[in-house]
Amino acid sequence: MGDFTDLVIWALAAAGVLIAAAGAVYFAPAKTSILVDTAGSTARAEMLTLWGLGPKFTGRALPPERAGEPMAQFNDPVRIGHALMTPGIAETAYAALRELYELKPRVVRVAIRINLADTAQSRVVETAVQAALAAAPAALRERVQLERCEAPGAEIAAAFELFASPAQINSIWSGFKKSRSVREFAKRLKRKPKPQKKAPKEVRAT
C-alpha cells in the first residue's frame, strides 16, 4: 500500500510540475513577431516563449498554403468596399492596435492602401480611419500610413516585434475577432453585395 501511495504522490507532483511549466510558457513574455499582409495572404504570429529561450509557437489566421498569393476578396473593389463600410470596424481595429502598442513594441509598421470602385466610398473609409486615429499618440499615428492602392481594391500590411506573453496576444486577438463589427466585416467579405441605394446597415462595435 505504501508503494502505491508513493506512486500517486509522485504522479501528482509530476502533474503539478507540468501544469506549472505550461502556465509559465503561456503567461511569461515571449519574443513575438506579428506579420499581416493581405497582398500575400499572410496573417501570423510567431512566438519564441520564455523570453526567447523556450519553444517556438506559430499562430496563423490564414491557411499557409495560400501564402504569397493576394487575397481575392481584397482585390474585388465592390466586395472589399462593402466590407470596409462596416460601421465600427475602424474603431475596433484601432482598439486592437492600441492594445498592441501599449505593450511597447520595438517595431510597429502599419499600411492601409485603398482604391475602391466608388471614390466617395474611398473617402468615407479614409475619413473613418483618420477619425479612429485622431486620439492616438503621435508616435503611433506616425507609424500608420494611409495610401492609395495601385491595384483596384485594398491592401493591409502590418508588422510588430515585441515581448508579450501568448496569453496577452491571445486576449487581444480573441477580443478583436469576436467583436460585432469584425464578425459583420467577415460576413460581408464572404459575399458579393447586391447593388443597393441604401447605405450598409449600421452595426455597432463592441
Q: Where are the domains of the chain?
A: 29-190
- Cα separation of the two ends of the chain: 58
- Give the confidence band of 13 by pLDDT, cuts at 50, 70, 90: very low
pLDDT at position 68, please? Answer: 79
Please report which confidence band the pLDDT of residue 18 belongs to, taking 50, 70 and 90 as the band edges. Answer: very low
Does residue 20 register a pLDDT over 80?
no
Question: How many other β-carbons are positioned within 10 Å of the β-carbon of residue 48?
Answer: 16
For 28-49, what is the mean pLDDT? 93
Higher pLDDT residue, 194 or 203?
194
Share of the chain above pLDDT 90, in %: 63
Q: What is the pLDDT of residues 57-104, one digit of tens each?
A: 898 888 777 777 888 899 999 999 999 999 999 999 999 999 999 999
Whether the per-residue pLDDT at 203 is higher than 60: the answer is no
2, pLDDT greater than 60:
no
Encode pLDDT of 134-177 as tens digits.
Answer: 989 999 999 999 999 988 999 999 999 999 999 999 999 999 99
- Please report the pLDDT score of residue 47 as a whole number: 94
On whether the CB atoms of residues 132 and 91 are closer than 8 A, the answer is: yes
191 pLDDT band, cuts 50/70/90, is confident
